[in-house]
Amino acid sequence: MTLELGFQTRSDEAFRAAVVSGLSRKQKSIPCCWLYDARGSDLFNAITRVEDYYPTRTETEIVSQNAQDMANFCGEGAVLLEYGAGSGIKTEILIDALRAPRLYLPIDIAADELAQTTSRIAKRFPRLDVFPIVADFTRDFDLPPALPLGPRTAFFPGSTIGNLNLREAIAFLSRMHRHVGAAIIGVDLKKDVRTLLSAYDDSAGVTAAFNLNLLARINRELDGAFPLDRFIHEARWNQTESAVEMHLVSLDSRVVTLAGRDFTFFSGESIHTESSRKYDLVTFGSLAETAGWRVSQSWRDRAGQFAVLSLDAVS
């Protein structure tokens, strides 16, 4: 059974406001959630299949090898919430291992991909109720009233927690604490910088196309005039933030018009579009504790590149 599609929390006006506000700052920036229009979602799915991008295949392997342990952690009759559901491939592995799950609530800002994911999972698990919610999980939103009884567990794979700064991460984990009593979350671990930068600037150029698609979206939806051949994708390591940053760099000085506004770029100036922070287990454990969680178990790959952690609410 598939319930009606949930509510929409983003709009064309919100996209315009985010772009105009972000490009008005000294360090131009646009929140990474706006990378995921229909084309952006397709390109990100392509990124997960390139050789240089290790997180998806590594985490998928971890979930596949430990699905029964994770299902035992969720408990029988679980209500599973997934923040940033995307294509939901790893979720299928977990759902398949669950004992009599009651309800799956995928939450994502990309409505088109969410509808596709909902349809696919509903067909594979016809006895499972599915209630998709179109929402920005980095902001407060309400869950459907009268959720069925049973344990509620959050699933947050893909190292998406790394896209949030410290304040945002604590706010998200606190919000998740209000929604559920347990969670399974993917965390990308610190490693050598060369491996990290290759993952966010793959040799096939898929990540570059993904990043540049944001400018194409602005041109299409906000009457923008970005010359796509005069901006390039660049991945940078920020040691202070322990993060890989994605930037769109202007190759020359110019004025770009969009949404009826003019924005000046100098040669070499960039738009910061995403940060992906990397953790060690001690640092992430401390972060989780700040929001009322305790790390109860960790599953890792042999190379120690990635971890999937179970969290219990403690307050």
Show the tokens assigned to 127.
């006895």
Give the pLDDT of residue 62: 97
What is the residue-averaged pLDDT of the chain?
92
Q: How many Å separate Cα 64 from the centre of its chain?
A: 20
pLDDT of 19 strictly over 80:
yes
Over residues 171-200, mean pLDDT = 96
Q: What percent of the chain lies above the pLDDT cut of 70?
A: 96
Helices (H) and strands (E) in the chain, counts: 9, 13
Cα distance between residue 250 and residue 252, in whole Å: 6
User: Which secondary structure element, helix H or strand E, spans residue 284, and what is its range?
Assistant: helix 281-290
Report residue 4's pLDDT band, with 50, 70 and 90 as the boundaries: very low
Give the pLDDT of residue 11: 65
Over residues 253-282, mean pLDDT = 97
Give the pLDDT of residue 164: 94
Over residues 139-156, mean pLDDT = 84
Report yes or no: 3 and 106 within 8 Å, Cβ to Cβ: no
Give the pLDDT of residue 5: 41
Q: Which ranges of 102-165 would DSSP assign to H, the alpha helix? A: 111-124
Backbone angles phi, psi at 27, to 5 degrees: -95, 105
Give the pLDDT of residue 9: 42
- Sheet containing 243-250: which strands, arranged edge to edge? 231-238, 243-250, 270-277
Report residue 86's pLDDT band, with 50, 70 and 90 as the boundaries: confident
Provide the residue count of the chain. Answer: 315
Going by their DSSP bridges, the two strands 243-250 and 231-238 should be labelled as antiparallel
- Collapsing DSSP to helix, strand or coil, 19 comes out as helix
Cα distance between residue 107 and residue 98, in whole Å: 19
Q: What percent of the chain lies above the pLDDT cut of 90?
A: 81
Over residues 103-115, mean pLDDT = 87
Give the pLDDT of residue 8: 40
pLDDT of 158 strictly over 90:
no
